Structure formats: C-alpha cells, structure tokens
Amino acid sequence: KNEVEQSPQNLTAQEGEFITINCSYSVGISALHWLQQHPGGGIVSLFMLSSGKKKHGRLIATINIQEKHSSLHITASHPRDSAVYICAVRITGNQFYFGTGTSLTVIP
C-alpha cells in the first residue's frame, strides 16, 4: 500500500469547469506539498500546507490533519492547467513520499 494515495488518476475537464483532486496519506507528516509537473518533467511547487487552507490565483489547497486528507481545487480551469498534479508529504527532515499523480487535461 502506498503511503500517499491520489484520486482520480486521470481527469478530463471542459474549460471553465471547477476541478478537485484528492490526496489521502497514512503517515505522520510535517507538511504536505502540491506539485505540478508538465510534460518534459520539470516540477513546480504550488503549495506547502501544514494546516487549513491556502489560495493562489485560481488554485486553492486545503488540508485536514485529523483526517489525513488534502484537496487541490482549480476554479475556472484553462487548457494551460493541463499537467500532472502530485501530492507529496514530508516526513522527517526533507524526505518525501509522493503520490502517483493526477493527470489533468483541460479541453478548450
């Protein structure tokens, strides 16, 4: 069993739709990260959460520490949001467990 589970694995949405990606984890963490990976491999860190909720532009991330669950929301989705979104939890030091990613395709 993976320490970090994401759902869905694949997601196709029409431009403008509201999108939710979920992440559940089974280990004690010091922080949770949402990462964006575009074709070619480069990873961009979107959010780091240890509690509550954060918002950046059209992206919103929430975490419930008690339930060991986090969600990434994208409002008014756009084709440029198409990417793989990865949930990663930080355990000791700077070591991470990663989810397998959610591949998002936004169709114009």
Partner 1 sequence: ETGVTQSPTHLIKTRGQQVTLRCSSQSGHNTVSWYQQALGQGPQFIFQYYREEENGRGNFPPRFSGLQFPNYSSELNVNALELDDSALYLCASSFGLSGQSNYGYTFGSGTRLTVV
- 21 part of the interface to partner 1, by CB under 8 A: no
Contacting range for partner 1; rule: CB under 8 A; set: 12-20, 27-35, 53-61, 65-73 = 27-35
Phi, psi angle pair for 28, to nearest 5°: -75, 135
State which of residues 13, 101, 104, 106 lies at the interface with partner 1 (CB under 8 A): 101
SS (H, E, C) 33-86: EEEEECCCCCEEEEEEECCEEEEECCEEEEEECCCCEEEEEECCCCHHHCEEEE
> What is the spatial distance between Cα 67 and Cα 76, in angstroms, rounded to a whole number?
28
76: tokens are 């008014």
In this complex, which beta carbon is closest to partner 1, that of residue 17 or of residue 103?
103
In this complex, which beta carbon is closest to partner 1, that of residue 12 or of residue 45?
45
In this complex, which beta carbon is closest to partner 1, that of residue 39 or of residue 108?
39
- 24 part of the interface to partner 1, by CB under 8 A: no
Contact 37/88 with Cβ under 8 angstroms? no
74: tokens are 């994208």
What residues from 30 to 69 belong to the interface with partner 1 (CB under 8 A)? 30-31, 33, 35, 40-45, 48
Name the site residues for partner 1 (rule: CB under 8 A): 4, 30-31, 33, 35, 40-45, 48, 86, 88, 90, 92-101
